[in-house]
Structure 1
Amino acid sequence: MSRTCLGGCQCVAYSPDGALLFASGGGNGRVQVWDVRRRVCIHTWHDASGVRTTRIALSPDGRYVATGSDAGVVALYETAAVVAGGEPKALKEFMNVRTAITALAFNHSSELLAFASKYAKASMRVAHLATRRVYPNWPTSKTPLKYVQSFAFSPGSGYLSFGNDKGAALLYRLNHFEAA
């Protein structure tokens, strides 16, 4: 990896079964897919969402790969299309954040994709994958997110928690999910 990505490795993510490793580095927007067992790169593709891929996440069901870029764009791909070879086309590009994506995660059921940037105030969004739309009604201008440094879904996705630059941990209930 270090020989093919100038500037070293920027971000990595494993497939849910641990068989594949997705990695990106440097400023070239290239993402590599590695077969962990054989220790070989099986595919390299270009993430067209920005100059530099800053985050990669894979859905727990293995269906989706999401990338976040330095331009604030989050691209959603089908994992099968990425692994198949060639240059995969994004299913959807979310352009709701204007600064580099610093946090990116799917919920446990692969229904939601959350993304944030710590470089701009209240730059956090949640997308519904079935409709491929960002929730327009949350967060609102009154949600005290500040500069989101990190976030996590609870194991059953009943809660979503944020950590911000003020040292606060905010906890929100997602009523759609019964289990915490």
Structure 2
Amino acid sequence: MNGTVRSLAFADDGQQLLSHGGDGQVYPWDLRTRACIHKAVDEGCINETAICTSPTINLFAAGSDSGIVNAYNRDEFLANSTLHHPRCLDFSPGGGLMAMGNAAGKVLLYKLHHHDRA
């Protein structure tokens, strides 16, 4: 991490540290090896101010001074690669699915788990 650290949070019973900075990235650190495991963009978060992890489930939340708070599953968030620039978005008629087309020519389909039907 080369930018300013704005917030830190421990995860995995103290085995991992998440850092959140002014560059819009979240960095997970393996405290046993003192190495950065990965970095991922916190989409939609501007001027990061806070990060916290759930002690019982694999979630973390990241907040910004704009009032936006994003919640993520740590395993899914860190495994994702960049989506490139979205060109089009649409929800299914039932609201349970979201489709996205990006600048790389890919179409991605996401199931929104908080809806009962697609």
Q: TM-score range by the shorter chain?
A: 0.5 to 0.7
Q: Is 1:32–2:27 an aligned residue pair?
A: yes
- Give the equivalent residue in structure 2 for 1:45: 40
Cα distance, 1:87–1:62 mapped onto 2, change above 3 Å: farther
Answer 1 or 2: which has greater strand percent. Answer: 2
Percent of aligned pairs with the same amino acid: 35
Q: 1:82 aligns with which of 77, 82, 96?
A: 77
- Give the equivalent residue in structure 2 for 1:168: none
Answer 1 or 2: which has greater helix percent. Answer: 2
5+ residue gaps, structure 2: 84-113
TM-score normalised by the chain length of structure 2: 0.63
TM-score normalised by the chain length of structure 1: 0.43
- Give the equivalent residue in structure 2 for 1:67: 62
Q: Is 1:17–2:13 an aligned residue pair?
A: yes
5+ residue gaps, structure 1: 89-130, 132-180
State the AA in 2 paired with 1:14: F
- Structure 2 CA distance, aligned partners of 1:47 and 1:33? 13
Q: Deviations over 1:116-139 (max 9, x none)?
A: xxxxxxxxxxxxxxx6xxxxxxxx
Q: Deviations over 1:10-69 (max 9, x none)?
A: 10000041111100122x211111111100001111111322221001011132110001
- Structure 2 CA distance, aligned partners of 1:18 and 1:85? 23
- Give the equivalent residue in structure 1 for 2:88: none
Number of aligned positions between the proteins: 86
| Runs of 4 or more above 3 Å deviation | none
Which structure has more relative contact order (CA 8 Å, sep 6+)? It is 2
Cα distance, 1:60–1:53 mapped onto 2, change above 3 Å: same
* 8 A Cα contact 1:19 1:35, kept in partner: yes
Alignment of 1:12-161 (within 5 A): 12-26=8-22, 28-87=23-82
